[in-house]
Structure 1
Amino acid sequence: MHWRKTPTGLHASGRELFAMGKKDMKLYWGSGSQPCFRVMIALHEKGFGGIDMKQIIFSENGHKCDEIMVKNHRGQVPTFNDGDKIVNESMAICLYLEKAYPNEGTKLLPDDPAKFAKVIQTAIEAQENLNMKLLINCVYIAWTTSAADKEGEEYKSRMKAGLEGAKKELEIWEGKLKKSAGEFICGETFTLADVVLFVFVATAVRFGNNLANLPTLRTYYDTLSNRDSIKASWPPHWKDGDLEQSKQVLRDM
């Protein structure tokens, strides 16, 4: 291996570091998991799509197997390692990849402090708000409520409020995209903010919202759905067809 001297120390040359990283990386993931989807997009963007990726089956409690528990005491996916460095939590993995391999593949975080701040703020804003408004307040409630309880007024009231909140949140992102200086959420370049935002937009579509009243968001979804990293990371069981109508909990948003 050849090393080069930099202000921060000795570093392997880009090509050899890339090969080393691919060889020593491993990702444990599950189909349909938004955090896993996000990390897989980031890996493909950085040029590491060919690493060892082991799919677990949630219904078989694959995320609780010994192989994962020894690396992630919470028994969750994504679980990732780069050699002896173990990184869990999807946002942490994405940030690690950019920090460890800034010159490989797509640059997901700008060097300019102001642009960096905009991208990281947008990514966290999307994660915090869309996760709560779409997944926790709508999808999770619908999927964890029994059929009998869904007939009650309490559930109907909670879902009505949840769907109204989800609708307003997506409208916020529609507005942000309209104001963007390019086709991506932070301008003309695909960044970490798009990695985060797209997964939630795709999830909204998966759960029945066709974005018909959000044309800019719909164009964003259609365009990015054809991006190589996203096509390569698409959850396998999503390819089997749409959810049955009773599970499309965002369709009436």
Structure 2
Amino acid sequence: MATDMTLIWFSGSPPCWRVMIALEEKNLQGYNQKLLDFLKGEHKSQEVLDINPRGQLPAFKHGNNILNESYAACLYLEEQFKSQGTRLIPMAAPEQALTYQRMFEGTNVLKNTNVIYYEWKFPEGERHDSSLKRHREALTAELKLWEGYLEKLGAGSYLAGKNFTLADVVVFPCIAYVFRFGLSEKNYPRLAGYYGLLKERPSVKTSWPKNWLETPQAEDKLKDI
């Protein structure tokens, strides 16, 4: 039981979700957790600011150790609980190298999803058809890279090969995010297969965002990507 751990999180946030998947994979159930509402601005509360002065989530504590960057939290959990649960960093150099490469490369997926909240992120005077087109093309190019990576690895593969690794922990929530917003499985069959494979993994099913269970499909803003 991970009673000396605390996670403050948003439902549906890929950074929060990846920490929850890592906790499940390392058999660290029973941690203290608090679900906040982004729309109510609860992440700017004093409770959060005391842990994370940036007022961002996740906010994670293990004893007196604070890790508010989701990648840092996942790496920390793997290192501190290496012999517990799923080994998330492979021993073999080739698979380890690919795990790290795909992990950090995965930040580009979420970074290129501006098209989903284009109207919200950009003031009306800064919105232009050419700008929206550029964001759509950037996301398309990014997703095609990942489609190609999975095609090269073959059907049924994870992001770094035949084993589930920390690369999957941190990148899968981003892949799930784009499918939630209507990404075409027909246009990205390898990504769709990967998404279907990981949806059934116990750590993913257990930590599936609560609001996604209530509304399985969001707006289909990515159907033509």
Q: TM-score, normalised by structure 1?
A: 0.82
Using the TM superposition, give the Cα deviation of residue 229 of structure 1 relative to its aligned residue in structure 2, in angstroms: 0.7
Answer yes or no: is 1:249 the counterpart of 2:224.
Answer: no
Contact persistence 1:142–1:249 (CA under 8 A): no
Answer yes or no: is 1:238 the counterpart of 2:212.
Answer: yes
Question: Take 1:33 and 1:49, find their aligned partners in 2: how far apart are those partners?
Answer: 19
Question: Take 2:220 and 2:93, find their aligned partners in 1: how far apart are those partners?
Answer: 41
Contact persistence 1:39–1:93 (CA under 8 A): yes
Answer yes or no: is 1:100 the counterpart of 2:80.
Answer: yes
Deviation sequence 1:150-170 (CA, Å, 0-9, x none): 9x9x52221122112211211
Q: Describe the SS at the equivalent of 1:139.
A: coil
The residue that corresponds to 1:168 in the other structure is 141
Contact persistence 2:21–2:203 (CA under 8 A): yes
Question: Take 2:4 and 2:26, find their aligned partners in 1: how far apart are those partners?
Answer: 15
The residue that corresponds to 1:192 in the other structure is 166
Corresponding residue pairs, total: 224
The residue that corresponds to 2:66 in the other structure is 86
Aligned-residue CA RMSD in angstroms? 1.9
Contact persistence 1:29–1:77 (CA under 8 A): yes
Listed as ranges, the gaps of 5+ residues in structure 1 are 1-18
- Which of 197, 206, 210 is the aligned partner of 2:180? 206
Using the TM superposition, give the Cα deviation of residue 145 of structure 1 relative to its aligned residue in structure 2, in angstroms: 4.3
Instruction: Please identify the structure whose Cα radius of gyration is greater.
Output: 1
Using the TM superposition, give the Cα deviation of residue 44 of structure 1 relative to its aligned residue in structure 2, in angstroms: 0.7
Deviation sequence 1:27-48 (CA, Å, 0-9, x none): 0001121100111111111111
Q: Describe the SS at the equivalent of 1:75.
A: coil
Q: Percent identity, please.
A: 40
Which runs of structure 2 are paired with 1:46-85 in the superposition (5 Å)?
46-85=26-65
Question: Take 2:122 and 2:216, find their aligned partners in 1: how far apart are those partners?
Answer: 21
The residue that corresponds to 1:111 in the other structure is 91
Q: Describe the SS at the equivalent of 1:109.
A: coil
- Which of 23, 33, 41 is the aligned partner of 2:21? 41
Q: TM-score, normalised by structure 2?
A: 0.92
Which runs of structure 2 are paired with 1:130-145 in the superposition (5 Å)?
130-133=109-112, 135-136=113-114, 138-145=115-122
Question: Take 2:138 and 2:122, find their aligned partners in 1: how far apart are those partners?
Answer: 19
